[in-house]
Amino acid sequence: MSLLTVVVPCYNEEEAIPFFYEEMLKTIEVFNKDFPSVEFEMLFIDDGSKDKTLKVLREYNEKDKRVRYVSFSRNFGKEAGIYAGLDNAKGDYVVIMDADLQDPPSLLPEMFKAVTEEGFDSAATRRVTRKGEPVIRSFFARMFYKLMARISKTEIVDGARDYRIMTRQMVNAILSMGEYNRFTKGIYGWVGFETKWFEYENVERVAGETKWSFWKLFMYSIEGVIGFSTAPLVISSFFGILCMLLAFVMIVFIIIRKLIYGDPTSGWPSLVCIIMLIGGMQLSCIGIVGEYLAKTYLETKHRPIYIAKEIR
C-alpha cells in the first residue's frame, strides 16, 4: 500500500471546494482502477480565508476521513500554504493542486506513473497557452521568464504551474529549504532531481475569482529575482563604474579645452541634468542593495513560515 497526499492551498474558496471534492472522488475512482494499492489523503490548507472555507472543510473532514486540513491564523500567502502542505503531508507521494480545478485531475494517473514506474522524482505541468488571461499580464509573465533565464543559474520553467507530484525524497529536500522568502518555482529548480513535464492548455477556474492582482504578481516576481539571482547587484555596480569612467573622460576633456581655448565652463542646465542622472542612478542602485538587505533582514529573524490555528 502507498499513500498519495493531495495538497490543496485554499484562500476564499468556499465555492470551488465542493466542485473540487466531487471531481477528486471521480478521479480517485478512475485512479484506483489502474493503481488499486494507492490510498488517498486530501490535505486542504485554509490560508486565513475570510469566507466560509473553514466551515466547508470542517464538514468534509467530519464525513470523509481522507480529508484533513490545516487552518492558518491569518493569510500567509500561497507559498506558505504549499510549505505547510508538504510539512503536514503523510504520503509517500505528494501532489499539489489548486482548489479551482485549473489543474486538471485527469492528468494525475499519468503523472503518478512517471514517478512510480518511469523512475522520475517528480512530474510537473506547464501551461502552453495563457488563454483567458489579460494580455498585459501574459506579456509581463513572458518577460519575467525570459529575464530569469538570463540572470539566474536556477532553472525556472516558463508557464510552470504549481501542479506537481513529488516523491517523499524530493518533498524532504524542499522542506529542508526553510527560507522565509519563498519562491517555490525557483526552489524546485534549485533542489534538482529528474522532472517529467506535462503540457496542457489553460483551463479557466471553475468558481470564484483569481486571488492574484497584477501588483501581487509583480511583487512575487521581484521575490523570484531577488531570491534566485544576484545579477541586479552586478548590474548596478557595472552602471556605477560606467558613470565613473564617463565622468573621468569628461573632466579630462573640460580641463584640456580650458587650457587650449581658455573657455569659461558654461551651461549649468547640462550640469543639472547630469546631477539628476547620477543622483537617480545612485538612488536606484541603493534601492537594489536595499532590496537584498531587506530580504536578508527578514531571513535573519527566523520567523515561522506559517502559523496553524487548527489542524485536523
Interface with Mg ion, residue 71, by CB under 5 A: no
With CB under 5 to 8 Å by kind, the binding choice for 41 among Mg ion, ligand UDP, none is none
To ligand UDP, the closest distance from the beta carbon of 294 in angstroms equals 21
Q: Binding segment for ligand UDP among 3-11, 35-43, 105-113, 257-265 (CB under 6 A)?
A: 3-11
With CB under 5 to 8 Å by kind, the binding choice for 227 among Mg ion, ligand UDP, none is none
Side chain identity, residue 55: K
Interface with ligand UDP, residue 13, by CB under 6 A: yes
117 CB-near residues (< 8 Å, 6+ apart)? none
Query: Mapping DSSP to helix (H, G, I), strand (E, B) and coil, where does residue 128 land?
Result: coil
Interface with ligand UDP, residue 77, by CB under 6 A: yes
With CB under 5 to 8 Å by kind, the binding choice for 85 among ligand UDP, Mg ion, none is none
What is the C-alpha to C-alpha distance for residues 273 and 225, in angstroms, rounded to an integer?
31
**Kind and range of the H or E run holding 297:** helix 268-300
Task: Please give the grid coordinates belonging to residue 170.
Answer: 524530493
Under the phi-then-psi rule, with left for phi > 0, alpha for psi from -120 to 50, and beta for the rest, what region is 131?
Answer: beta
Interface with ligand UDP, residue 99, by CB under 6 A: yes
To ligand UDP, the closest distance from the beta carbon of 236 in angstroms equals 31
Q: How many CA atoms lie within 13 A of 167 on its CB side?
A: 18
DSSP 83-102: HHHHHH---SEEEE--TTS-
Contact string (CB under 5 A) for Mg ion, positions 179-218, x = contact: --------------------------x-------------
Binding residue (CB under 6 A) for ligand UDP from 61, 75, 138, 181 = 75
Binding residue (CB under 6 A) for ligand UDP from 169, 210, 213, 265 = 210
Tell me if 59 sits within 8 A of 99, measured CB to CB: no
Number of residues in contact with Mg ion under rule CB under 5 A: 4
Interface with ligand UDP, residue 85, by CB under 6 A: no
Tell me if 68 sits within 8 A of 43, measured CB to CB: yes
Query: Mapping DSSP to helix (H, G, I), strand (E, B) and coil, where does residue 164 land?
Result: strand
What is the C-alpha to C-alpha distance for residues 254 and 266, in angstroms, rounded to an integer?
10
Binding residue (CB under 6 A) for ligand UDP from 9, 189, 227, 232 = 9
To ligand UDP, the closest distance from the beta carbon of 189 in angstroms equals 19
92 CB-near residues (< 8 Å, 6+ apart)? 2, 3, 4, 167, 168
Q: Provide the binding-site residues for Mg ion, judged by CB under 5 A.
A: 98, 100, 102, 205
Q: Provide the binding-site residues for ligand UDP, judged by CB under 6 A.
A: 9-11, 13, 47, 75, 77-78, 81, 98-100, 102, 205, 210-212
